[in-house]
Amino acid sequence: MPKTKANGIELCYETFGSSDDPAMLLIMGLGAQMIAWPDEFCELLASAGFHVIRYDNRDVGESTWFDDAGSPDVGAAFSGNATPAYTLEDMADDAGGLLEALGIGTAHIVGVSMGGMIAQLVAAQHSSRTLSLCSIMSTPGGQDSTPPTEAAMQALMAPRPTTREQAIETALNARKVIGSTGFPADEDKLREQAARAYDRANHPEGMMRQMVAIMSSPSRVELLGNVAVPTVVIHGTVDPLVPPDNGDKTAKAIPGADLVTVDGMGHDLPEGAWPQIVDAIVANTAKVSA
């Protein structure tokens, strides 16, 4: 997959659809590579008339890793005393830098989970590049966030896999705890996705550094009050990792934002929910031309 220099680092990316169409930048969540945006999901957005760009965040996949920063101190982050190797603001600058490197002036910004946090910052801090914002299963951050359930936190903090089979089992176990209850799970596809991610780039320390960046991030509520682009907030009704009222808080913080709830969706992107999610994203982008 192609790579480019952006914001002083190297970012790996992939595109779908025609470059003549409006750009749509997809930002993935904690520890997840860009391939966690399913190919078919990206193709749905491309077929709706968008030039879709997905990329590996820093410290995951084939983008620059920050191993020189040393092992992250998650325990210190829980006590509020950690110094992150980088911030969510840095990661938002990566997104803006990627658009600049690709010669894209403006884009619709879509983020999921941690990617939603980054997308919020892109809309607030790179407003001239942002056409619209979609924040999926995310949170306004800091003291304005509702924490995960205990079971979801335990799943998040499970030991990182060191073998391919462990990676597959970890993904399956996480799906049972934080995944959607209203949509069937395709275990074969989950195994295939986990194996593909492990084979491509298994980098658990990067995920933990990203987690410290999240935990060190303050509330974005005041900043979100400055977002002036069409915004839709999408959240599942049974999300235990980022409980549903986080979506409500995010939508209330952004002037004019719409909140779309997906019944039975947890902290994942089940295929059965794609039509509702894609329709909400496309409807939000239509407000730009309107």
pLDDT of 161 reads 87
In a domain, 161, yes or no: no
**pLDDT band for position 226 (cuts 50, 70, 90):** very high
Strands 51-55 and 9-16: antiparallel
Helix (H, G, I), strand (E, B) or coil at 239: coil
Q: Is the four-CA dihedral 163, 169, 173, 178 of positive or negative sign?
A: positive
Q: What is the Cα–Cα distance from 159 to 204, expressed in whole angstroms? A: 9
The answer, yes or no, to whether residue 11 has pLDDT greater than 90, is: yes
DSSP 178-193: HS-SSS---HHHHHHH
What range does the domain containing 243 cover? 3-148+205-289
CATH assignment at residue 249: 3.40.50.1820
User: Percent helix, strand, coil in the chain (nearest 5)?
Assistant: 45, 15, 40
151-200 pLDDT, tens digit per residue, is 999 998 888 888 999 999 999 999 999 999 999 999 999 999 999 999 99
In a domain, 137, yes or no: yes
In a domain, 197, yes or no: no
Burial of residue 276, with CB atoms counted within 10 A of its CB: 0-12 exposed, 13-18 middle, 19 or more buried = middle
How many Å separate Cα 91 from the centre of its chain? Answer: 11
In a domain, 154, yes or no: no
In a domain, 123, yes or no: yes
In a domain, 177, yes or no: no
The answer, yes or no, to whether residue 287 has pLDDT greater than 70, is: yes
Q: What is the Cα–Cα distance from 45 to 43, expressed in whole angstroms? A: 5
The answer, yes or no, to whether residue 71 has pLDDT greater than 90, is: no
228-269 pLDDT, tens digit per residue, is 999 999 999 999 999 999 999 999 999 999 999 999 999 999
Q: What percent of the chain has pLDDT over 70?
A: 100
The number of folded domains in the chain is: 1
The pTM for the full model equals 0.96
Q: What percent of the chain has pLDDT over 90?
A: 91
Q: What is the Cα–Cα distance from 216 to 205, expressed in whole angstroms? A: 17
pLDDT of 252 reads 98
pLDDT of 290 reads 59
**pLDDT band for position 72 (cuts 50, 70, 90):** confident
Average pLDDT for residues 285-289, to the nearest whole number?
92
100-124 pLDDT, tens digit per residue, is 999 999 999 999 999 999 999 999 9
Mean pLDDT, the chain, rounded, equals 95
